[in-house]
């Protein structure tokens, strides 16, 4: 295949009509974001009014060429002024207007004053526009992140952090461009076009109609390229999200990568995806370039047509040289504005894709909807801690049940050890208890109340959970321990740390409780992270405690000390321990063995 054939095939691929699914866009996606604009409508209205004022003044500047040629130099054009003043009923002002327009000093002074007004009003308008844009961006970003935190745990685990963060950063950044640059630019250009056309019709209605007749041509060019740019933009954004996701995963697992000497393999994997992303961006750039050159070609033809018609109008005595000069100024002026609108309109396609992607995120049904104010969900005044599973079944895949019609009761103040092989469903059972997942059949009860009828936030405040996957924030040790009980004082933090067997280790650190744990607690050992997590549960002091392998990273001495603390902490509260160590299970009142989806006690 020759280079010509390859180039032709590539261009055909770029210009082909996109599949409907690729370019799906709903006006609902735009209307959805009006909820973030409504609280700021006054600020937006003032900004719009200033924009209209600035553009109205700016649209008068190209008219200065006619004023200088016809009025100042040639001392003609009085009939046009008289017609305009008669139209508005201001004929009495004709002598004064003729005097003003005939003085070069006064005309220059007027133009200078208009320029100063445009500058001052423009500065105020830019500041208000920036505040308007920043407030909207803040509202969207915070609302989206709040929505993320309400997603079901299963969704958050399915969508990796890097992918979700690209929605918060990249897509919201596109909306920021929309409100900060695109909307003001479109409004300004449209106002300029309207005001300029109004002036042009007073100069020569025939040629103005010719300009208006070319608008459908420009519209067709935009329409042709818009859907194609939108489809490619969506592909580009989705690939960018995938790259962000993979980069985040690789950097998070860098220890495993280095230990297996797989840096080259991971680099090849990520570079392949980046290359595909770049190829998509090249397509987008090519489409934008083709659209831009198509608009330039139409502008050139328009200019030549206007020049040709203007010469004939002057020869026939229907317009002056000043009219032609002003007309040409407005022609160049308008063609630039239309090109700007064309480029902005193409950029809108990327904005529309971001709107679509963001509304997809907002459409995800949250785990709970403002339960704190829901009248249908209950918040018992007191928790005893009796837990009952009644004929509960759960499966991630239909043909492979994890829990199969299990029933059991844990009494108030009882400590239960839950054991079983890996993958038997122990963590799944706990997830059902704290409503990370919902049973597919049967019901879970707390003190006789179905969990489905209990407020989710309230329920989780009653449970202290130490996960096997320990997570510490990149904050001080004190802040990490206090996370479950922010109002606790320093003495309570120390007491919780002593009960968890971590206080002595903390005292050896240079900054003691103010020591920063690092990202995910990287500056601490596995055992220290686990004990800090246990101290966090101690400090929360809930009526129900759940430990997922609480001693897996502890030595024998620390385990023995922790067992004594667990015995004290278990008094008058319900405790569930997932453990494989029988040395820990022996302090429990009962041992539940989970095998093949069934509970044996």
- pTM given for the model: 0.56
Output the pLDDT for position 436. 80
| Mean pLDDT, residues 34-46 | 80
Higher pLDDT, 239 or 418: 418
| Mean pLDDT, residues 430-448 | 84
Determine which of 43-52, 295-304, 471-480, 561-570 has the lowest per-residue pLDDT on average.
Answer: 561-570
Output the pLDDT for position 84. 64
Compute CA 421 distance to the chain's CA centroid, rounded to the nearest angstrom: 41
| Mean pLDDT, residues 52-70 | 78
Instruction: For the chain, give the percent of residues with pLDDT over 70.
Output: 75
Tokens (6 digits) for 214:
């070319």
Can you give the residue ranges of every domain in the chain? Answer: 26-363, 387-600
| Mean pLDDT, residues 364-390 | 70
pLDDT at 23 over 50: no
| Mean pLDDT, residues 184-200 | 78
Higher pLDDT, 154 or 203: 203
Superfamily grouping for domain 387-600: P-loop containing nucleotide triphosphate hydrolases (3.40.50.300)
Over residues 396-407, the pLDDT tens digits come to 777 777 888 888
| Mean pLDDT, residues 489-508 | 86
| Mean pLDDT, residues 151-160 | 63
What DSSP element (H or E) covers 594? Answer: strand 590-595
| Mean pLDDT, residues 283-307 | 74
Output the pLDDT for position 417. 85
Over residues 204-221, the pLDDT tens digits come to 777 778 777 776 776 677
Over residues 74-116, the pLDDT tens digits come to 666 556 666 666 666 666 676 776 777 777 788 788 888 888 8
Output the pLDDT for position 495. 87
For the chain, what is the mean pLDDT?
A: 75
CA torsion, points 241, 244, 246, 252, in degrees to nearest 10?
-140
- Is the domain spanning 26-363 CATH 1.20.1560.10? The answer is yes
Output the pLDDT for position 156. 64
Give the strand pairing for 441-446 and 449-450.
antiparallel
**Do the Cβ atoms of 470 and 533 come closer than 8 Å?**
yes
Instruction: For the chain, give the percent of residues with pLDDT over 90.
Output: 0
In whole angstroms, what is the distance from residue 472 CA to residue 481 CA?
9
In whole angstroms, what is the distance from residue 554 CA to residue 565 CA?
14
CA-atom Rg of the chain in angstroms: 35
What's the burial of 395, exposed, middle or buried (CB within 10 Å: 0-12/13-18/19+)?
middle
Residue among 217, 343, 211 at smallest CA distance from 290 = 343
């Amino acid at each position: 295949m020759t280079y010509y054939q390859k180039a032709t095939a590539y261009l055909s691929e770029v210009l082909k009509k996109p599949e409907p699914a690729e370019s799906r866009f709903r006006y609902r996606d735009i209307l959805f974001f009006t909820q973030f604009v409504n609280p700021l409508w006054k600020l937006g209205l003032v900004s719009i009014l200033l924009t209209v004022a600035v553009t109205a003044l700016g649209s008068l500047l190209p008219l200065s060429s006619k004023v200088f040629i016809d009025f100042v130099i040639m001392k003609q054009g009085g009939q046009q002024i008289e017609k305009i003043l008669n139209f508005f009923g201001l004929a009495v002002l004709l002598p004064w207007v003729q005097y003003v327009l005939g003085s070069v000093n006064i005309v220059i002074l007027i133009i200078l004053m208009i320029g100063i007004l445009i500058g001052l009003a423009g500065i105020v308008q830019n500041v208000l526009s920036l505040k308007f844009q920043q407030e909207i961006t803040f509202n969207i970003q915070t609302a989206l992140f709040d929505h993320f935190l309400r997603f079901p745990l299963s969704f958050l685990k399915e969508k990796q952090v890097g992918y979700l963060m690209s929605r918060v950063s990249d897509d919201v950044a596109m909306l920021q461009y929309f409100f900060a640059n695109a909307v003001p630019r479109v409004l300004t250009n449209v106002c300029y076009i309207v005001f300029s056309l109004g002036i042009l019709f007073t100069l020569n209605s025939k040629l103005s109609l010719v300009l208006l007749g070319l608008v459908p041509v420009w519209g067709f060019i935009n329409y042709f390229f818009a859907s194609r740019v939108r489809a490619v933009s969506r592909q580009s954004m989705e690939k960018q999200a995938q790259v962000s996701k993979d980069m985040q995963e690789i950097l998070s697992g860098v220890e495993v990568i280095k230990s297996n000497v797989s840096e080259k393999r991971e680099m090849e994997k990520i570079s392949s995806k980046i290359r595909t992303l770049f190829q998509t961006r090249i397509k987008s750039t090519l489409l934008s370039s083709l659209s831009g050159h198509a608009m330039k070609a139409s502008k050139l033809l328009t200019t030549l047509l206007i020049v040709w018609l203007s010469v004939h109008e002057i020869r026939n005595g229907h317009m002056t040289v000043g009219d032609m000069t002003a007309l040409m100024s407005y022609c160049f002026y308008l063609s630039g504005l239309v090109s700007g609108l064309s480029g902005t309109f193409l950029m809108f396609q990327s904005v529309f894709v971001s709107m679509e992607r963001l509304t997809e995120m907002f459409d995800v049904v949250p785990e709970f909807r403002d339960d704190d104010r829901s009248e249908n969900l209950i918040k018992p005044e007191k928790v005893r801690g009796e837990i009952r599973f009644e004929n509960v079944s759960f499966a991630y895949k239909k043909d492979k049940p994890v829990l199969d019609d299990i029933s059991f009761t844990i009494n108030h103040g009882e400590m239960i050890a839950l054991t079983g092989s890996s993958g038997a469903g122990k963590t799944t059972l706990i997830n059902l208890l704290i409503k990370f997942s919902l049973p597919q059949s049967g019901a879970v009860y707390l003190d006789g109340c179905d969990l489905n009828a209990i407020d989710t936030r309230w329920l989780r405040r009653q449970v202290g959970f130490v996960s096997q996957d320990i997570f510490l924030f990149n904050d001080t040790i004190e802040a990490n321990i206090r996370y479950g009980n922010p109002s606790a004082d320093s003495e309570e933090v120390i007491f919780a740390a002593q009960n968890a067997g971590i206080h002595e280790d903390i005292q050896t650190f240079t900054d003691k409780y103010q020591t920063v744990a690092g990202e995910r607690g990287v500056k601490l050992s596995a055992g220290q992270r686990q004990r800090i997590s246990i101290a966090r549960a101690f400090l929360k002091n809930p009526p129900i405690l759940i430990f997922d392998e609480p001693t897996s990273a502890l030595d024998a001495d620390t385990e023995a000390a922790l067992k004594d603390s667990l015995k004290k902490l278990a008094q008058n509260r319900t405790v569930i321990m997932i453990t494989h160590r029988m040395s820990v299970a022996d302090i429990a009142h009962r041992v539940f063995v989970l095998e093949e989806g069934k509970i044996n006690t």
